[in-house]
Amino acid sequence: MSKSKYVTRQRKMLLTYLEQHPDETLSARAIADALKSECVSLSAIYRNLSALESEGKLRRISRTASREVCFQYLDAPPCREKLHLSCTRCGRTFHMDTEETREFISNVSKIDGFEIDKTETVLYGVCDTCRK
C-alpha cells in the first residue's frame, strides 16, 4: 500500500526549482535566495530538503575545506541512473552516460559480483575548464 504524501505549494516550488538545476550543487541558502520572490521560507526549504534526501531524491554533499553543505537533485531525468563526475573547484556536476560507462558498470557486476549504486556514486576531480 502506497502512502500518498501531501505536497505543499512550497514543496512544489522547490521541486520545480531543483528540476531546473539538476547539474548543480546548491546550498539551502542559495535555494532560499532564488525562491525568495515565491515566498518559500528557509525553514520549508530545510524541511523539504531533508525529506527529499530521505526519499533518495537528493544527495547531500559536504565541500572539502568548507563547512557548507550543498545538495544535488537526483530525480531529474538527466540524473537518474547515471554515474556522476564532480569538480572539486567549481562544484559543477557532469553525467557519465556513454557506452563505455555502461560497459564499465556491467563489467564490475559480472567480474566482481558487485552492483554499483549509481545514485551514490560520484567521482571527484577537476574539470577541463578549471584546469585551464
Q: Are strands 83-87 and 122-125 parallel, antiparallel or unpaired?
A: parallel
Cβ neighbours around 57 below 10 Å, total: 18
Residue 59: Cβ-neighbour burial (10 angstroms; 0-12, 13-18, 19+): buried
Q: What is the pLDDT of residue 2?
A: 42
> Which residues, 6+ apart, have CB-to-CB distance to 10 below 8 Å?
40, 41, 44, 45, 48
- pLDDT confidence of residue 123: 86
Predicted TM-score (pTM) of the model is 0.67
CB within 8 A of 14, min separation 6: which ones? Answer: 31, 35, 40, 44, 45, 48, 49
Q: Could you report the average pLDDT of every consecutive run of 10 residues in the chain (132 residues)?
A: 64 93 86 92 93 88 75 79 83 83 91 85 88 90
For position 1, what pLDDT does the model report?
Answer: 40
pLDDT of residue 31: 95
Q: Starting at the earlier edge strand, list the strands of the sheet with 83-87.
A: 93-96, 83-87, 122-125
